[in-house]
Amino acid sequence: LAKTTQPISMDSYEGQEVNITCSHNNIATNDYITWYQQFPSQGPRFIIQGYKTKVTNEVASLFIPADRKSSTLSLPRVSLSDTAVYYCLVGAALSGGYNKLIFGAGTRLAVHP
Amino acid sequence: EAGVTQFPSHSVIEKGQTVTLRCDPISGHDNLYWYRRVMGKEIKFLLHFVKESKQDESGMPNNRFLAERTGGTYSTLKVQPAELEDSGVYFCASSQETFPYEQYFGPGTRLTVT
């Protein structure tokens, strides 16, 4: 499974756009890129998933360049409630349609007033 | 729709004792996973069920850990006997087969072995 590298921590202010970049130089052809969010004392929560180009949902956008060796999670106009740890995961759905998630250290985002 | 629930939320036991953690997945989710985070480390995969069958046990640390999913509904994870290094947060997650990347996690059970 492809190893990911992302910043340990980031700081931002309310109302700003936050971009968290993840490097995955060894990504394989079948790998998808998935981001999870985790608040203290809670389990991780799925945010977004993509394979290439751009994916957008009601929570975030995911930008993936053509070489797919990196990806950027974009959170528009963050609020204090977006303070959390964000995980970038790369992997392929294994046979049988399931996915064993491999978590790294994640990026600890702190949003300030 | 109810999410993934886990019981208990916190358990404190002495070394050598037995503890059983329970997970109730989202109704209709055939896939059920167990993960854990031990102190200072990353979240690690333990095992995966498809209905009542163990699909992947590659993350189970040793034979002191036993997971079951009778009837393909809720699952239990038993640690017997517990050791100090088993302390951490144990997460359960479930997913539908058609959306393997979107796993729904429970709040976790914090296990403290003293």
**What is the C-alpha separation between A102 and A98, in angstroms, rounded?**
13
Residues B62-106 pLDDT 10s: 999 999 998 889 999 999 999 999 999 999 999 987 666 789 999
**What is the C-alpha separation between B22 and B5, in angstroms, rounded?**
8
Instruction: Using the structure block, give the residue that is written with the tokens 């393909």.
Output: B72
Name the nearest CA neighbour of A101 among B86, B25, B29, B99: B99
Residues B28-66 pLDDT 10s: 998 999 999 998 899 999 999 989 999 889 999 999 999
pLDDT at B99: 66
Q: Does B4 touch chain A (CB under 8 A)?
A: yes
Instruction: Give the CA radius of gyration of chain A.
Output: 14
**What is the C-alpha separation between A22 and A68, in angstroms, rounded?**
10
Name the nearest CA neighbour of A32 among A58, A62, A76: A62
Q: Is pLDDT of B25 > 80?
A: yes
- Find chain B residues with C-beta within 8 A of A43's C-beta: 4, 91, 93, 105-108
Residues of chain A with a CB closer than 8 angstroms to some CB in chain B: 32, 34, 41-46, 49, 93-94, 96-105
Residues 6+ apart with CB under 8 A from B50: A96, A98, B30, B31, B97
Residues of chain A with pLDDT under 50: none
pLDDT at A91: 81
